[in-house]
Amino acid sequence: MSGLLYKANVLMYDRQSESLWSQVRREAVGGPMTGARLEVLESTLTTWGKWKKKYPQTQVLSLETGYQRDYTRDPYESYYESRKGFFSFFKADPSEEEKALVAGIVLDGEARAYPLELLRKKGGLTDTLEEARLAISFDAQTDRISIRDAEGQTVPHVILYWFVWKGMYPESTIFKP
């Protein structure tokens, strides 16, 4: 990590060109690679128990990382619980939780966020964005989130706090039932 932040979000750097890449924007924003984009691949935020059940052959990252760290605890444990975000300069609407976890998508330049709590409760949603009909599904067995358009094409999403997404995409709307 570069140690730099843009809009309350980390800037990563690559060792080849030392360009700076925004994690949430998924593109290089400084240095020789400026403008280059990263492709988002599917990942699932879940529990070890559910993941292992779905993929019994799974590997798991070893504690032998080459670094001495106290891996018995997550240094952000209290941050996850707190309702206030780090470096937040965005004032959430009183009806919104700034630290609500959302799945964020950008479709034809339009940004939209789906609260995970709502997805969990409903199991699935449908939405229309930029004239595209979207099906958002959440599988409680695996915690997998899938967002597809009418042609069945996957629309890649990232999971993050609402204030980080809104900070990066101020025009973003949040899905409300």
Q: Which stretch binds other proteins (CB under 8 A): 42-50, 95-103, 112-120, 169-177?
A: 42-50
Residue 143, sorted as left (phi over 0), alpha (psi -120 to 50) or beta, turns out to be left
HEC per residue, 118-136: HHHHHCEEEEEECCEEEEE
Structure-block tokens of residue 49: 């128990």
**Which DSSP category does 116 fall into?**
H
* Residue 45 interacts with other proteins (CB under 8 A): yes or no: yes
* Residue 130 interacts with other proteins (CB under 8 A): yes or no: no
Structure-block tokens of residue 147: 């967002």
**Minimum separation from the CB atom of position 29 to other proteins (A):** 5
* Residue 156 interacts with other proteins (CB under 8 A): yes or no: no
Q: Which stretch binds other proteins (CB under 8 A): 33-41, 100-108, 117-125, 145-153?
A: 33-41
Cα distances (Å, whole numbers) of residue 152 to 31, 64, 133 = 36, 40, 10
The mark string for 63-92 relative to other proteins (x by CB under 8 A, - otherwise) is: xxxxx-x-xxxxxx----------x-----
Using CB under 8 A as the criterion, which residues of the chain lie in contact with other proteins when the complex forms?
1-7, 10-13, 18-20, 22-23, 27-32, 34-35, 38, 41-49, 51-52, 54-67, 69, 71-76, 87
